[in-house]
């Protein structure tokens, strides 16, 4: 090690330790640790964390790395350096010649020559890595590796401490992070959003426990020779769903341009799954949780009736008959998510002609001081391990809630799970989850009645209708 470098390492560890004990927000603490690592080693540095699938690595904090390299794409834990699956430090002397570098061409264009990856361990589980990137050939010494290991350990302590402060269950020393869930790691993500709408969307994803990465990849769309002249960087990537999401909430004038880029991207990269979330879709998504301009509008009452009481009861009988026939020789557990489902589920089970068990669960709503993740306010009481579960929903729109509930129930060991919903608002779907039994398809409008509410009103209506639109003269829409 060059003379005097020990002094820089010591200072970096001391400052990182002070940050861990400072009470600062987790993102600020991790940024301090990564920045200190980079400066002490005169290199770039990043903290990458495993996503909820434990297969992908996502940049959480970085220093001294160009955006072009950070947006190279999501990294596969098994293909990128391999320090995470092996749990051992990995030193790369020449990124251009080593097969353990997932994006060697992009690393070379970013001026990266050598790399070092040290696993970040929480309890007994490897949760990510601290990585160092140099612009010159470096044979990393044991002291270098020990220093980066110390910084990675401090990052792990910061993540665990934050879990304690948030009153979530951290991994106990020597325990398994899977027992604590991925909430501490989600708290560690850092992103500088270009617009408040993007931050709001990230909060909604956090609420539903959906892993995300902000602008992780830029796709070349046009070239002049070897020079890229046009790029497209989707706003979000959801690795667990292998889905990119682009928001169009800033200026409607950008919609045409974004649609053009989307068409080009789909032609050039047909394997990419991407969806465009329009302004009206995003406003309605926010309004569902009481936020945004649409949440401030007051409905005028009942609008057009979509399905009468007699029509609903006839369709419920048909669905109950089909369910009873399909599972005649089994005893399913029917589970409803409160509260909107109570009318539909009560009528449905009364029409069933087979033995069954019934249970309910409830989740918290978006908002409040601690809203970074869905909270199960009432879990099921029945043991569903090895059982057939019929999940009953009142309405499926974006698929966020349904996706969360399905994952929650599957973790309990259900043998088979089918979804039965009264209403399907297909045009709103972001997460495409198969629906096994559907009562009615409804338009992309706000519907009320038969258990569905608008600000806790109209649940007791015996029919399903649109919510009448307020008078334009009385609306004051917030500026975005």
Determine the Cα angle at 109 with ends 105 and 111, to 5°.
120
Domain 196-296 architecture? 3-Layer(aba) Sandwich (3.40)
- Collapse the DSSP code of 121 into the 3-class scheme (helix H, G, I; strand E, B; otherwise coil) and give the result: strand
CB 461 within 8 A of CB 302: yes
| pLDDT in the model for residue 480 | 29
**Cα separation, 260 vs 442, whole angstroms:** 29
397 is catalytic: yes
* Domain boundaries defined on the chain: 5-187, 196-296, 302-474
Q: Cβ contacts of residue 465 below 8 Å, gap of 6+?
A: 302, 303, 304, 305, 306, 447, 448, 449
Cα dihedral 18, 23, 25, 31, rounded to 10, equals: 0
Which pLDDT score, from 0 to 100, does residue 176 have? Answer: 45
d(CA 379, CA 339): 13
CATH number for 5-187: choose from 1.10.275.10, 3.90.1170.50, 3.30.450.40, 3.40.50.720: 3.30.450.40
CATH code given to domain 302-474: 3.40.50.2020
One digit per residue, the tens of pLDDT, for the chain of length 480 reads 445 688 899 999 999 999 999 888 888 899 999 999 999 999 999 999 988 778 888 888 899 999 889 888 889 999 999 999 999 999 999 999 999 999 999 999 899 999 999 999 988 889 999 999 999 999 999 999 999 999 999 999 998 887 776 654 444 444 444 444 455 555 566 677 888 888 888 888 877 778 888 888 899 999 988 788 999 999 998 887 889 999 886 566 678 888 889 999 999 999 999 988 887 777 777 776 666 666 655 556 788 889 999 999 999 999 999 999 999 989 999 999 988 899 999 999 999 999 999 999 998 755 444 444 667 889 999 999 999 999 999 999 888 889 989 999 999 999 999 999 999 998 888 888 899 999 999 998 889 999 998 878 888 888 999 888 654 433 333 332
CA distance 96 to 106: 10
pLDDT computed for residue 373 by the predictor:
61
Gap between the Cα atoms of 131 and 143, Å rounded? 15
Please tell me which residue in 76, 397, 424, 444 is annotated as part of the active site: 397
């Amino acid at each position: 090690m060059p003379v005097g470098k020990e002094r820089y390492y010591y200072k970096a560890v001391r400052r990182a330790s002070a940050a861990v004990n400072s009470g600062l927000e987790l993102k600020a603490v991790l940024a301090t640790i990564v920045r200190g690592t980079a400066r002490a080693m005169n290199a770039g540095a990043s903290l990458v964390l495993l996503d909820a699938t434990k297969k992908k690595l996502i940049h959480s904090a970085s220093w001294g790395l160009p955006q072009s390299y950070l947006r190279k794409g999501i990294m596969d834990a098994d293909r990128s350096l391999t320090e995470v699956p092996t749990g051992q430090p990995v030193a790369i002397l020449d990124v251009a010649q080593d097969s353990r570098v997932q994006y060697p061409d992009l690393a070379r264009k970013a001026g990266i020559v050598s790399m070092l990856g040290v696993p970040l361990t929480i309890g007994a589980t490897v949760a990510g890595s601290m990585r160092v990137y140099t612009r010159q050939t470096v044979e990393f010494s044991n002291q270098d590796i020990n220093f980066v290991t110390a910084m990675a350990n401090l990052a792990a302590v910061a993540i665990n401490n934050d879990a304690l402060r948030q009153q979530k269950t951290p991994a106990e020393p020597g325990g398994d992070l899977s027992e604590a869930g991925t909430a501490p790691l989600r708290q560690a993500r850092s992103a500088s959003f270009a617009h408040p709408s993007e931050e709001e969307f990230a909060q909604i994803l956090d609420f539903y426990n959906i892993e995300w990465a902000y602008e992780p990849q830029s796709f070349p769309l046009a070239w002049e020779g070897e020079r890229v002249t046009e790029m497209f960087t989707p706003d979000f990537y959801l690795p667990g769903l292998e889905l990119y999401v682009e928001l169009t909430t800033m200026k409607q004038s950008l919609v045409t341009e974004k649609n053009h880029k989307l068409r080009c991207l789909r032609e050039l990269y047909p394997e990419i799954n991407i969806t465009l979330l329009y302004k009206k879709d995003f406003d309605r998504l926010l309004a569902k949780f009481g936020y945004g301009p649409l949440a401030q509008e007051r409905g005028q009452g009942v609008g057009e009736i979509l399905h009468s009481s007699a029509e609903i009861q006839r369709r419920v009988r048909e669905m109950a008959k089909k369910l009873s026939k399909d599972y005649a020789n089994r005893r399913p557990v029917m589970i409803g998510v409160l509260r909107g489902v109570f009318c539909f589920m009560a009528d449905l089970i009364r029409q069933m002609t087979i033995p069954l068990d019934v249970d309910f669960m409830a989740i918290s709503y978006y908002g409040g001081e601690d809203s970074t993740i869905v909270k199960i306010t009432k879990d099921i009481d029945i043991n569903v391990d090895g059982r057939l579960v019929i999940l009953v929903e009142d309405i499926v729109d974006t698929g966020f809630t349904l996706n969360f509930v399905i994952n929650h129930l599957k973790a309990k060991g259900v043998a088979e799970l089918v979804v039965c919903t009264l209403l399907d608002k297909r045009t709103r779907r972001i997460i495409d989850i198969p629906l096994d039994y559907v009562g009615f398809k409804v338009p992309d409008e706000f519907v009320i009645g038969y258990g569905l509410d608008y600000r806790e009103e109209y649940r007791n209506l015996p029919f399903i209708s649109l919510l009448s639109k307020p008078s334009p003269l009385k609306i004051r829409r917030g500026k975005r």
